[in-house]
Amino acid sequence: MRVSLAGILLLAATAARAQLVESIEVRITNIDVVVTDRAGKPVSGLTQDDFELYENGKKQTITNFYAVERSATAIAAAPATTETPAPVVTPPERRRRIVFFIDNFTLDPMQRRKFTDVLDKEIEHIVQPGDEATIIVFNRRAMGVPPFTGDAAALKTALRAQVRDAGVGMLATSRKIVQSQVNTLIDAARSDTRHVGLYYQQALSVVRAWAEQSYSDGRNLLHGLSATVSRLAGMDGKKVLVFATGSLPEKAGVDMFEYLEQNFRVLIPNLPTTARLTANGYSITTDIEKLAKQANTDGVTMYLVDASGAVKGSVSAENSEPSDITLEAMDKMNTGGALQLIAKITGGTAVTGTDNFQFAFDTLARDLDTYYSLGYRSEENDKTGNRNVRVKVLKPGLSVRSRRSWAPKTQVEQMHDRVIANLFRENTTGAFAIEVALRGEPQKRGRGVFRLPLRVTIPSTITMLPDGPDLAGGFAVFLVVGNGIGDMSSVISSEHPVRVPAVHEKVLRANPLIYDIDIEVREGKQTVSIAVVDKVTNEAGFTRREFDAR
């Protein structure tokens, strides 16, 4: 079996893949809720009776409830003591997994520096004991996906290094080039009115090419965000994605279409008003909604920042032609709409039109320190498909934010998530220990491709049940490969029954089970993540190891 994705080849040369059971586990669904007053301040002290929760319009019984209140004021008010404080143990469901995702391509260096300076200052306040975080810089592709860590100092060092090496964001330069080309054709049309229609068509072609490129870049960025959400999906605790960008237009190129149309309407009085209609063809609204729904299903709340800041300057009422400032304002409205839509669906916030990035991190910190978790058991837990969720707070004058939807995942899908998460986290806990090692030297298979012969060692303590004169059980193996820049293969899985005569159980238990698999990878360092699931108990063990394929 051969799977190819993102430049990594993966070959399983073992038993044929078996059909795994796609059952959906009946479980509690948790919806995290942030409640604010009319001034936007977080509200604490509410109880389960202050909320109502609806799924697909039907009221649900809230079976689980807890409130998180970790304010700095409460910590400061604690009585002083000379005794060494006991280490703070954060329950798994309340630990935070945070990704800071910086879209470098759309940010000019000055604005990126403003944003990262605030982030550098706030990391140690946001990443608390028990939390883990990572920083991704995106420049039309992820420039690396460092492992999650709870070390704030290490995160700050990584941030400074990544920002230093990120280079110059190119979007602003590209925009100026396109605008210059359009302006040249506008000037030519004013000088040669006999061929104004020809110049208009040429300028329209330039703008369409720009819109197509912007549309492609926007979808590529959303794909990068989607991959990041997938890496968070299998992690426990509260999961947050902080996304900073300079531009993510919901309708790519609409500002340039408007600019073109308004300038040429002076020369072509009967020019139809089609700019916004044309821009509809380059809309990424569906992709945005898809990302937001994926984040909801994977339990990831998104906090979004238009880090390009406020519009610089003002627009003169005496000038009827759109200026650079007008174009900038239109792009910000376009981007703001996209970010607000994601925030609304996922229960996060979007900060746009301001250079006050401190406000964005203050909002994030408040949300992480004061929120409520409502758990319920869906009456349709055995069905697939998206479910709409609505939470009401019964006290007047209060507002509530939460994710608007979720979709159940099968046990196999959940294991896919967990083995992917294991790529990016150290010390993933499991019910039992497994090991992976080379059983031979890497073998070159072609230009830049190596075969790694792997051996997975599994405890022989897997559960076996009587079946006539035999004992029967089995295990499933899930495997994914990733490299240091965030590329990864698809997950492969295989199921392996184990059956022995009951009288031979001692022989079975005397030695570990061995699973051999060959994988083909690109040359260089690759990380292999493996999960093994006991097919009787559904308990899993995890391991990950880096191999140098040379």
Q: Under a CB-based contact definition with an 8 Å cutoff, are residues 479 and 454 in contact? A: no
- Distance (Å, rounded) from C-alpha 96 to C-alpha 365? 11
pLDDT tens sequence across 363-396: 999 999 999 999 999 877 667 789 999 999 999 9
Cβ atoms within 10 Å, residue 432: 15
- Distance (Å, rounded) from C-alpha 383 to C-alpha 498? 31
Can you give the pTM of this predicted structure?
Answer: 0.87
pLDDT of residue 442: 95
* Cα angle 72-35-48, degrees, rounded to a multiple of 5: 100
Residue with tokens 């400074």, as numbered in its chain: 160
pLDDT of residue 93: 60
131 Cβ partners below 8 Å, 6+ apart? 90, 95, 96, 97, 98, 150
Residue 53 is inside which H or E element, if any? strand 51-55
In the chain, which residues have pLDDT < 50? Answer: 1-24, 72-82, 84-88, 314-322
Q: Under a CB-based contact definition with an 8 Å cutoff, are residues 354 and 372 in contact? A: no
pLDDT of residue 41: 93
Structural domains in the chain plus CATH codes: 2-23+411-549 (2.60.40.2550), 29-85+378-406 (no CATH), 96-369 (3.40.50.410)
pLDDT tens sequence across 296-308: 999 999 999 999 8
- Maximum Cα–Cα distance for the chain, whole Å? 98
Distances in whole angstroms, Cα of residue 80 to Cα of each of 70, 72, 88 = 18, 15, 16
83 Cβ partners below 8 Å, 6+ apart? none
Residue with tokens 């669906």, as numbered in its chain: 345
**534, β-bridge pairs:** 475
DSSP string, 236-305: -SEEEEEEEES---SBTTHHHHHHHHHHHHTT-TT----HHHHHGGGB-HHHHHHHHHHHHHTTEEEEEE
Q: Taking Cα atoms as reference points, which of 129, 150, 144 lies closest to residue 425?
A: 150
Measure CA 51 to chain center. 29
pLDDT of residue 446: 87
pLDDT of residue 7: 30
